[in-house]
Amino acid sequence: MSVHASQPARTDAEVGDVAAYMIRLGQAARAAATHMRRAVTGDKNRALLAMADRLQSRRSDIIAANAADLARGRDNGLEPALLDRLALNDARLDAMVEGLQQVAALPDLVGEIEGMHFRPSGIQVGQMRVPLGVIGIIYESRPNVTLEAASLCLKSGNACILRGGSEARDSNSAIAACIREGLREAGLPEDAVQVVATTDRAAVGQLIAMPEYVDVIIPRGGKSLIERISREARVPVVKHLDGVCHVYIDATADAEKALAIAVNAKTHRYGTCNTMETLLVDAPVAEKLLPQLAAAYAEHGVELRGCERTRAILAGVVAASEEDWYAEYLAPVLALRVVDGIEAAIEHIERYGSHHTDAIVTENYGLARRFMAEVDSSSVMVNTSTRFADGFEYGLGAEIGISTDKLHARGPVGLEGLTTRKYVVLGDGQVRQ
């Protein structure tokens, strides 16, 4: 079997007709997926470590390519935050190399058989974990996503088609070269990881409309991008929409824990999806806790927007509007509401939340149990910060994203989310009566 493919297109001229180009990528990915499904763990790990070596030896090429992206970005008036996400430096390259080594060290789930048992008919039935097949990943400016996504798809035995942002074109191309060489060195098909060479938007439209070549789409980016892809895709999408996360401080809460958690969940990082956006405080402790919370938030420069009962306790707090309860601020802003007990807290979370991550702070056993059972979010927490909702913190070893979907993968998605299970049935000639 030949695992060497022709050199991929690099320019729009080489790409030619975008739809036809994407179909070629799809066909090549499907063929590569057949090889990848059979790839042994050792070869996959060898490819990952070879990529890490190339990343090291090509460091200056990658930084130079990135410099070209950054120069173009500055010329195009890219915002400083985006330029920062785009930038690669020695520290970020070191992290990328380390990431590859970590993925190589993760256990290979492919081929795991669970639940094998005999049935009265004499057949033996279980389920084997297998790759999904071809994964399309659509993302924005951060070029390290190219490597992260490629490494996770590779380790889980999938082929992938990566479509990064146009801002990172040169960086992605330089990284893609390292990936292909790593695959080749390990004797794996180079087309197992293909980076879309054109920045034409039609490429995305085609990628999400080829169920014959692509098994699942994972979009990473802003909500509007993800909503558009979900609406238009003809391929299943594993998606992350928004994170309107809550902490509910119950009357029985330990005040010290409550303060620490409420402050950490809001101020540890503002722009992340697992950051708390609304804090709910049980009425009996509002008078005592709200002033302490307000003082702590004031230290961090967090703007508070409160309900009427909050404002009766905290003078000068801006009134929260209905939109505030739905808001994912991603900023040093917090909505505050005084509620009457867990029932009202759960009702609020159900009505305004995004089913991402919600936490209760309580010392009451029954309320902790009830919150865990009744709150319908991808992560439900007791006495800890919503900021822990993360693949690394959960011990997945890696994270391709956080799913707010209910089907297939929910919450942080690691290698397992890139696989599926098929039934395996062993017999000795049994037939059905």
Give the binding site for a second copy (CB under 8 A). Answer: 34, 37-38, 111, 117, 119, 121, 123, 125, 128, 130, 132-133, 215-216, 231, 234, 236, 238, 254, 256-257, 260-261, 263-265, 268, 350, 359, 372-374, 376-385, 387-389, 393-395, 405-408, 410-412, 420-432
Residues 40, 42, 48, CA angle at the centre, nearest 5°?
A: 110
Residue from 280, 273, 223 nearest 243 by CA: 273
Crossing angle of helices 144-155 and 41-57, rounded to 10°: 160
Which residue, 30 or 46, has its beta carbon nearer to a second copy?
Answer: 30
Which residue, 38 or 74, has its beta carbon nearer to a second copy?
Answer: 38
Q: Which residues are within 8 A (CB) of 52 and not within 5 positions of it... i.e. 6 or more apart?
A: 97, 100, 101, 104, 182
Q: How far is the CB of 168 from a second copy (least distance, A)?
A: 28
Residues in the chain: 433
Q: How far is the CB of 166 from a second copy (least distance, A)?
A: 29
Q: How far is the CB of 99 from a second copy (least distance, A)?
A: 18
Q: Is residue 118 classed as helix, strand or coil in its secondary structure?
A: strand
- C-alpha 156: how far from chain center: 16
How far, CA to CA in Å, does 275 sit from each of 62, 255, 261?
A: 33, 20, 11
Which residue, 13 or 431, has its beta carbon nearer to a second copy?
Answer: 431
Q: How far is the CB of 411 from a second copy (least distance, A)?
A: 5
Distance, in Å, from the CA atom of 57 to the CA atom of 54, rounded to the nearest integer, reads: 5
- Here the tokens at position 297 are 């938030």
Which residue, 202 or 382, has its beta carbon nearer to a second copy?
Answer: 382
Q: How far is the CB of 393 from a second copy (least distance, A)?
A: 6
Half-sphere exposure of 285 (CA within 13 A, CB side): 20
- Here the tokens at position 360 are 């209760």
Residues 156, 158, 162, CA angle at the centre, nearest 5°?
A: 115
Residue from 165, 164, 163 nearest 76 by CA: 165
Which residue, 171 or 378, has its beta carbon nearer to a second copy?
Answer: 378
Q: How far is the CB of 112 from a second copy (least distance, A)?
A: 12
Distance, in Å, from the CA atom of 127 to the CA atom of 385, rounded to the nearest integer, reads: 35
Which residue, 123 or 314, has its beta carbon nearer to a second copy?
Answer: 123
Is 171:86 a contact under the CB 8 Å cutoff?
A: yes
Q: How far is the CB of 384 from a second copy (least distance, A)?
A: 3
Which residue, 175 or 276, has its beta carbon nearer to a second copy?
Answer: 276
Distance, in Å, from the CA atom of 197 to the CA atom of 162, rounded to the nearest integer, reads: 9
Is 297:305 a contact under the CB 8 Å cutoff?
A: no
Q: How far is the CB of 210 from a second copy (least distance, A)?
A: 14
Which residue, 87 or 188, has its beta carbon nearer to a second copy?
Answer: 188
Strand runs (DSSP E) across 191-259, as ranges? 193-195, 216-219, 245-249
Q: How far is the CB of 423 from a second copy (least distance, A)?
A: 4
Which residue, 68 or 116, has its beta carbon nearer to a second copy?
Answer: 116
Which residue, 10 or 421, has its beta carbon nearer to a second copy?
Answer: 421
Strand runs (DSSP E) across 104-263, as ranges? 113-118, 124-131, 134-138, 159-163, 193-195, 216-219, 245-249
